[in-house]
Amino acid sequence: MGGERSIDQALVERVQQGDKKAFDLLVLKYQLRVSKLVARFLRNPSDVPDVVQDTFIKAYRALPNFRGDSAFYTWIYRIAINTAKNHLVSMGRKSPAHSIDIQDAEDYGASDWLKEYASPEREALAGEIQENINQAVSHLPADLREAIMLREMEGLSYEDIAIAMDCPIGTVRSRIFRAREAIDEKLEPLLDEYSHNVGDT
């Protein structure tokens, strides 16, 4: 996955030339990681979306000054931390005195956070989503299941999965997509229900 930085940099350059859609792609790629990072700081989970949104808007405004000396994620990580700290200050709370490493933030047990702050309804829905996805994974054809597990559980690159499964990289890419698509068919109606319930609460 050595192309991550070059694709990110290419997208950044497109944004700098006025292509806002390129920024959409950067948001799509990094919003989950930024959400987890921000959730590590904030005590109130309902504040996370606002802070994540602020982070990306600030990043967009600051992009003319981004020269690509560091990776895009490292750069937006700093913006996210500062935005979260400022949010805590504005809410009259003290921000964490210690700095948090990117890897520590990503390794932070999000499920612990969920147990501590989630409402019973949300927890039930999250449990239902988890169970449905587990079932969908278990019903996948063996080659698709192996490909998606190697990617999501082991974090292997497509190149490494291709070696492990003894097939071309294009086949790996296709298998992972087909696995996601099959799981997504079960997930989509549940998420509609989830977002409907969250909206109600």
| Single residue of 84, 105, 144, 183 touching other proteins by CB under 8 A | 183
Report DSSP state, residue 153. T
Q: Which residues contact 89 (CB under 8 A, 6 or more apart)?
A: 95
The binder of other proteins chosen from 63, 100, 165, 167 (CB under 8 A):
63
Pair 156, 164: CB distance under 8 Å:
yes
**Tokens 């698509």 — which residue?**
181
> In the set 90, 153, 166, 200, which binds other proteins (CB under 8 A)?
153
Residue 117 binding other proteins, by CB under 8 A:
yes
The one-character DSSP state at 182 is H
- Token representation of residue 70: 């560091």
CB of 114 to other proteins, least distance (A): 4
Task: Report if residue 69 touches other proteins, rule: CB under 8 A.
Answer: no
Contact between 165 and other proteins by CB under 8 A: the answer reads no
Tell me the closest approach of the beta carbon of residue 70 to other proteins, in angstroms.
16
Mark 23-62 with x for binding to other proteins (rule: CB under 8 A) and - for no binding. xxx-xxx-xx--xx-xx-----x--xx--xx--xx--xx-
Instruction: Tokens for 170, please give them.
Output: 């294009």
Residue numbers 5-24 binding other proteins by CB under 8 A: 6-7, 10-11, 13-24
Token pair recorded at residue 95 = 């921000």
Of 64, 59, 84, nearest to 74 by C-alpha is 59
